[in-house]
C-alpha cells in the first residue's frame, strides 16, 4: 500500500463547510457566516446539493470592522436575519478572521436568543478548528448541548434506532438511507425511525440525539465497538451488520438477508474468473464511503484501487490491512487528477471535478454539478451486483 499525504489542493475544506452541511439537515435552520463576504459566497452551492435555497447569509466584515470590533455588526445581522427569514435556529459560524480575534460573542447571542425566542448557536468554523468533518462534529456537539433538556432517551420506542452522521447534501443518500434501514430491519430487527441530521425537527426529534444509534457517514469514527465502513459488497454488508449488532447489543443472523448467499456466489464466480482483475478503479470521497467501496472492489472483485479520502481511512488500513494499492489523504481537484493520470483508472467514483478524463465517471461524492439519476444505489448485496456488472460492461469497452 502506498500512502501519500498532500495539502497543495486539499480534498476537504475548513470546518465551516461541515457546519453548513449539518445545518442544511435541520428544519428551519439558517446559517450566519460571521466574517468576510468571500467565506459565505463560496459555500452557497452547498444547500443546492440538498435541493434547497442557496441561503448562506453573512455579516460581510471588513478590515476596519476587525479593528473596531465585530459585536455590533453581528447583533445587527442576527436581528435582520431573524426579521427576514423567521428561522427556528440561527447558526452563527465563526471564520478564520473572527476566530483569530477572539471576541466573546456567546453571552451577547444568548441575550438576543432569549429576546427573539429563537435558538442561536455559535460554532467555530475556522480552519484552526479542523476540516469539514470536524465542523460537522462540532455542530452536532453544540446542538446536543443546546437541546439537552429536550433529548430524553425515554421518549424512544423500544426497538427503534437512528442513523447518526448523515447530511441531505451527501450524494446518493436520499436513496441509500432506505437501503441502510432495510438492512438493519432485516438483519438486526431494528426499525430506523430517525436520521441525524436529516429533516431534523428541533421539537419533535430532539430525543434522537441521545437514543440508540448507528454511527455512519461523517460520524462513523464514533463507534466505540470498532469502526465499520459503509456496507458495499456482500462481505462488507456482513461486516457492517455485525458491527452495528455489537453497538446495539444484537446478534446478526446472515439468514435474515435473503440476497447474501446468492449474490456472494455470483460475485465469487466473477472473482474466480479474473474478469475484473484488470479493471483499475479510483474512489474519491469521505472515509466511511470510500473505505467501504474500496474494500469491496479490492477484496471481493480483485480490482486495482486508488483511494482519495481523509485521515481515518489511513488509520483503518493500519488496523485492518491495506484495502487499496494507493491511498491519498486530503488530495483533491487538479492535484488528484495528476495522480489519476499516473494510476490510469478505467473507472472513477467521485465528484464532478473528476468527470473530465479518459475514464468512465460514476457520480459518488459532492459536488456533483450535473443532473444525475440517483435512484440506483450501490450499497447492500444488490448494489454489489450492480457495481460488478457495471465494471464488467466497462471492461468490455476497454478490451
> Could you tell me whether strands 119-124 and 160-164 are parallel, antiparallel, or unpaired per DSSP bridges?
unpaired
The string of pLDDT tens digits covering residues 295-335 is: 999 999 999 999 999 999 999 999 999 999 999 999 988 89
Is residue 372, in this structure, part of any structural domain at all? yes
Domain boundary residue, one of 146, 174, 201:
146
The string of pLDDT tens digits covering residues 132-152 is: 999 999 999 999 999 988 766
Q: Quick one: 109 and 32 in the same domain?
A: yes
Cα separation, 28 vs 202, in Å, equals: 9
Q: Quick one: 105 and 227 in the same domain?
A: no
Q: Quick one: 236 and 286 in the same domain?
A: no
Q: Quick one: 31 and 66 in the same domain?
A: yes
What is the grid cell recorded at 271? 472473482
Is residue 96, in this structure, part of any structural domain at all? yes
Is residue 294, in this structure, part of any structural domain at all? yes
Note the pLDDT of residue 331: 92
Give the domain range for residue 355: 271-398
Cα separation, 70 vs 122, in Å, equals: 14
Residue 294: which H helix or E strand, with range?
A: helix 287-295
Is residue 4, in this structure, part of any structural domain at all? no
Q: Quick one: 227 and 138 in the same domain?
A: no
Note the pLDDT of residue 225: 72
Q: Quick one: 79 and 201 in the same domain?
A: no
Is residue 261, in this structure, part of any structural domain at all? no
Residue 296: which H helix or E strand, with range?
A: none
Domain boundary residue, one of 192, 226, 256:
256
| Residue ranges in the chain modelled with pLDDT below 50 | none
Q: Quick one: 391 and 278 in the same domain?
A: yes
Note the pLDDT of residue 46: 92
Closest to 285 (Cα-Cα) out of 222, 232, 224? 232
Contact 180, 162 (CB under 8 A): no
Q: Quick one: 246 and 284 in the same domain?
A: no
Contacts with 32 (C-beta within 8 Å, 6 or more apart), sequence order: 57, 58, 59, 77, 78, 81, 90, 91, 92, 93
Q: Quick one: 17 and 126 in the same domain?
A: yes
Q: Quick one: 20 and 131 in the same domain?
A: yes
Contact 334, 354 (CB under 8 A): no
CB atoms within 10 A of CB 274: 9
Note the pLDDT of residue 79: 96
Cα 93 to chain centroid distance, Å, stands at 19
Q: Quick one: 314 and 227 in the same domain?
A: no
Cα separation, 164 vs 361, in Å, equals: 29
Cα separation, 242 vs 245, in Å, equals: 5
Is residue 68, in this structure, part of any structural domain at all? yes
Domain boundary residue, one of 146, 174, 194:
146
Q: Quick one: 132 and 167 in the same domain?
A: no
| Number of residues assigned to the chain | 399
CATH number of the domain bearing residue 290: 3.40.50.1980
CATH number of the domain bearing residue 170: 3.40.50
Is residue 297, in this structure, part of any structural domain at all? yes
| Domain tally, the chain | 3
Query: 66's torsion region: left (phi>0), alpha (psi -120 to 50) or beta?
Result: alpha
Q: Give me the half-sphere count of Cα atoms (radius 13 Å) on the Cβ side of residue 330.
A: 14
Is residue 92, in this structure, part of any structural domain at all? yes
Amino acid at each position: 500500500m502506498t500512502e501519500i499525504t498532500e495539502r497543495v489542493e486539499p480534498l476537504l475544506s475548513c470546518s465551516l463547510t461541515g457546519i453548513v452541511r449539518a445545518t442544511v439537515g435541520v428544519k428551519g435552520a439558517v446559517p450566519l457566516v460571521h466574517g468576510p463576504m468571500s467565506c459565505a459566497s463560496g459555500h452557497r452551492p452547498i444547500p443546492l446539493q440538498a435541493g434547497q435555497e442557496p441561503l448562506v447569509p453573512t455579516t460581510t466584515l471588513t478590515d476596519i470592522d476587525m479593528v473596531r470590533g465585530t459585536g455590533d455588526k453581528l447583533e445587527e445581522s442576527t436581528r435582520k436575519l431573524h426579521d427576514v427569514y423567521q428561522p427556528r435556529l440561527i447558526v452563527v459560524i465563526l471564520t478564520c478572521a473572527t476566530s483569530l480575534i477572539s471576541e466573546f460573542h456567546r453571552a451577547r447571542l444568548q441575550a438576543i436568543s432569549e429576546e427573539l425566542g429563537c435558538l442561536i448557536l455559535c460554532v467555530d468554523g475556522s480552519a484552526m478548528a479542523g476540516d469539514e468533518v470536524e465542523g460537522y462534529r462540532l455542530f452536532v456537539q453544540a446542538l446536543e448541548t443546546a437541546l439537552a433538556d429536550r433529548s430524553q432517551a425515554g421518549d424512544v420506542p423500544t426497538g427503534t434506532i437512528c442513523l447518526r452522521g448523515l447530511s441531505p447534501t451527501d450524494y446518493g443518500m436520499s436513496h441509500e438511507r432506505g437501503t441502510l434501514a432495510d438492512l438493519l430491519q432485516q438483519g438486526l430487527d431494528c426499525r430506523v425511525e430517525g436520521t441525524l441530521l436529516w429533516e431534523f425537527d428541533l421539537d419533535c426529534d430532539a430525543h434522537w440525539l441521545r437514543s440508540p444509534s448507528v454511527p455512519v457517514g461523517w460520524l462513523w469514527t464514533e463507534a466505540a465497538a470498532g469502526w465499520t465502513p459503509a456496507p458495499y459488497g456482500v462481505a462488507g454488508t456482513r461486516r457492517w451488520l455485525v458491527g452495528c449488532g455489537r453497538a446495539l447489543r444484537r446478534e446478526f443472523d446472515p439468514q435474515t438477508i435473503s440476497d447474501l448467499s446468492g449474490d456472494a456466489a455470483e460475485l465469487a464466480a466473477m472473482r474466480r474468473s479474473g474478469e475484473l482483475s484488470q479493471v483499475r478503479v479510483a474512489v474519491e470521497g469521505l472515509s466511511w464511503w470510500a473505505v467501504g467501496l474500496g474494500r469491496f472492489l479490492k477484496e471481493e472483485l480483485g480490482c486495482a484501487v486508488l483511494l482519495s479520502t481523509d485521515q481515518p481511512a489511513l488509520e483503518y488500513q493500519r488496523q485492518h490491512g491495506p484495502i487499496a494499492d494507493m491511498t491519498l489523504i486530503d488530495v483533491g481537484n487538479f492535484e488528484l487528477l495528476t495522480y489519476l493520470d499516473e494510476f490510469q483508472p478505467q473507472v472513477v467514483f467521485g465528484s464532478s471535478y473528476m468527470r473530465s478524463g479518459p475514464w468512465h465517471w460514476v457520480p459518488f461524492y459532492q459536488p456533483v454539478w450535473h443532473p444525475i439519476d440517483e435512484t440506483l444505489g450501490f450499497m447492500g448485496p444488490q448494489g454489489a451486483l450492480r457495481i460488478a456488472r457495471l465494471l464488467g460492461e466497462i471492461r468490455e469497452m476497454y478490451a
